[in-house]
Amino acid sequence: MARIFVTRSLPGRALERLADAHETEVWPDRLPPPRPALEERARSAEGLLSLLTDPIDAELIAACQELRAISNYAVGVDNVDLAAATARGIPVGNTPGVLTDSTADLALALMLGIARRIVEGDEFVQAGEWVTWEPGLLLGHDLHGATVGIIGFGRIGQAVARRLDGFGCEILHTSRSGGVELGELLERSDFVTLHCPLTAETRGLIGAEALRRMKPSAYLVNTARGPIVDSEALRGALEQGEIAGAALDVTEPEPLPADHPLLGAPNLVVIPHLGSATHATRERMADMAVDNLLAGLAGERMPYCANPQVYGEAARA
């Protein structure tokens, strides 16, 4: 029976399976364990089930001499030093594919929400200002028939495109395998939606220059990773009317402090990283994360492994 540390309670009953098989400690608080607590508990753990908010860096991995398996409750592994884990022969699991449709649904919800001014409308009613129907009240823009630029055309980007087909949209996309140039996409699109991974190349991809190339009537949506967008540049673009609005599920930093300058920008909707936040998706993610950890601790190949080099396999392109 191995010692396992789980950095937060998870939806569903997957952790019960883990506790039946191994000595399992679950961090009891709503917020992530502070660094000293994470180090203390991980140091004696053989298995670690982490969240995207937990920095599983090279220093932590080096300090955890008993560690044999890491399972990240996320598709991305930005928070895990894969090179350090691989050098130690530690497999790192993730939860790919499961949140594709839920995130694609949310991307469309954000497009409609910002363009049709749904949040503003709710606030208007809640404030008691709705006293009559008005022809010019809270006019927005249509999604149907719009040109939508999808940056990153992997599983989620393609799922977004399938949904937009029902809206009669023209789809432009960029990807490593084809599509249009980024500049053309920015200039032609009524909506720009981000679905690329966070890499050295995509960090800050949507900065001041990119935002200036967008139409003044265009909207930016980000359900990918916060650092892909330069927060200060976005604030400036919104304040100066360079774009019509933005809807963000992810931010840089994350979470945004309540006094962050970006939150004062006009025509902005920010939600707290809800891309996978449905009962079914989050419970399936928990099952996948536990499956990874159980396999890794049993010396078996993780079913969803982010560093297959530990098994002598090449990484997927």
Active site members: 225, 254, 273
Are the C-beta atoms of residues 235 and 259 closer than 8 Å to each other? Answer: no
CA dihedral defined by 171, 192, 101, 307, rounded to 10 degrees?
110
CA torsion sign for 68, 73, 75, 76 is negative
Are the C-beta atoms of residues 59 and 88 closer than 8 Å to each other? Answer: no
Which tokens belong to 303?
Answer: 């079913």
Are the C-beta atoms of residues 26 and 63 closer than 8 Å to each other? Answer: no
Which tokens belong to 238?
Answer: 């919104």
Paired residues of 23 in beta bridges? 3
- Which of 245, 205, 246 has its CA nearest to residue 225? 205
Q: How far is CA 84 from CA 56, 80, 89, 92, 209, in A?
A: 10, 9, 9, 11, 35
